[in-house]
Structure 1
């Protein structure tokens, strides 16, 4: 019979530590691997800068400026200002799953109370601008 003392023995402890470290490394790698830069879809562009800032443009007009964070495969967008920014209380922040494949960034809604932002972000993959 396995008791608590056996579970905390050296081999089991090592296995637990290695497993936790691997999971943590995977999450950190995914966040560090988020593809910064400019993406376009139907005349709109979104730019993710390295200091945690993003902006959405249509041509030369800035429509939204805000901040983003990445944790694993989750992207959190917080609108700060702009003519179409979601700045109503409770709608400022939306969370999305993200996947980068074949020069395209695909976002999927996890939670966002701003339906306009959610619809625009997830309509189709954002193509990387060169």
Structure 2
């Protein structure tokens, strides 16, 4: 199984546990990889939507809210896989304030494996996990005049 951890690509084994840390850092994390894909492999996953910290980040381009949100979700996302997608709270499109590229804070902070599924955008991609294909689609990805 190939993964895309920027800036270094890595290879991981299916159904394995990995510990991640930098040097002698006290911040150590771990993650488990899913079982090898197959038609009879059971796999359980959950779906959750609209996890936002504050709507004010959109209205006033308070991008530091992205960082506090990242620290808030890290307690869970560091130990189990999260599959991200963008919605209306992540558009951050405000040409009158100089921000003319939609989803810029989102795509810079949340790297997803869209290239592995031959997608052209991080706003839609698919992931094969055990016996399931998980299709991730942002219904807001066509936002803006030039898209």
Give the shorter-chain TM-score range.
under 0.3
Instruction: With the length of structure 2 as denominator, give the TM-score of the two structures.
Output: 0.21
Instruction: With the length of structure 1 as denominator, give the TM-score of the two structures.
Output: 0.23
Structure whose alpha-carbon radius of gyration is higher: 1
More strand by share: 1
